[in-house]
Amino acid sequence: MALSDPQGILASPLSVINRRDDTADIEAIINIVNQQQVKQIIVGLPQSMNGSIGAQAEKVKAFTRKLCDHTEVPVEFRDERLTTVSAKRLMQAVSSRKKKKKVTDDAVAAALILQGYLDEGHGASL
């Protein structure tokens, strides 16, 4: 997960929710949405390289429909192709620097997805 600053300019990695089951995962997301006063949720959609929707993307859409049943916060999908690859490259580039806290590739990938959304002129989000 990632959050933007209140002005909706910069995305930062927040955390990773280790999947347990839909109910627990939705509860964890809703807790963060409420604590951080999130106004928009951006969900990475793992499309195939040709842009088609595969089995994993269908699973994400099904989970997102369940999430929407538990919040009035608007939810929007964002293509996440190659964000994990970009995140790994970014993490390798900074691996020689001293890190104050551990950040995972998935959290960085979430920040990259959100940053792309913000760069298009959208507001503060999760």
Kindly list the domain boundaries of the chain, sorted by start residue.
Answer: 2-119
pLDDT in tens, 66-82: 999 999 999 999 888 65
Q: Tell me, what's the pLDDT at 30? A: 96
Q: Token digits for 68? A: 């929407």
What is the arithmetic mean of pLDDT over 115-125? 73
Between CA 120 and CA 126 the distance in angstroms is 15
The C-alpha torsion from 11 through 81 and 74 to 35, rounded to 10°, is -40
- Hey, which CATH number is domain 2-119, 3.40.30.10, 3.20.20.10, 1.20.140.10, 3.30.420.140? 3.30.420.140
Query: What percentage of the chain has pLDDT greater than the value 70?
Result: 76
Express as a percent the part of the chain with pLDDT over 90: 37
Is the model's pLDDT at 50 over the cut of 80? Answer: no
| 3-7, 51-55, 92-96: which is most confident | 3-7
pLDDT of 100? 45
pLDDT at 86 over 80: no
Q: Residue 9: CA atoms inside 13 Å, Cβ hemisphere, count? A: 2
pLDDT greater at residue 5 or residue 65: 65
Q: Model pTM greater than 0.95?
A: no
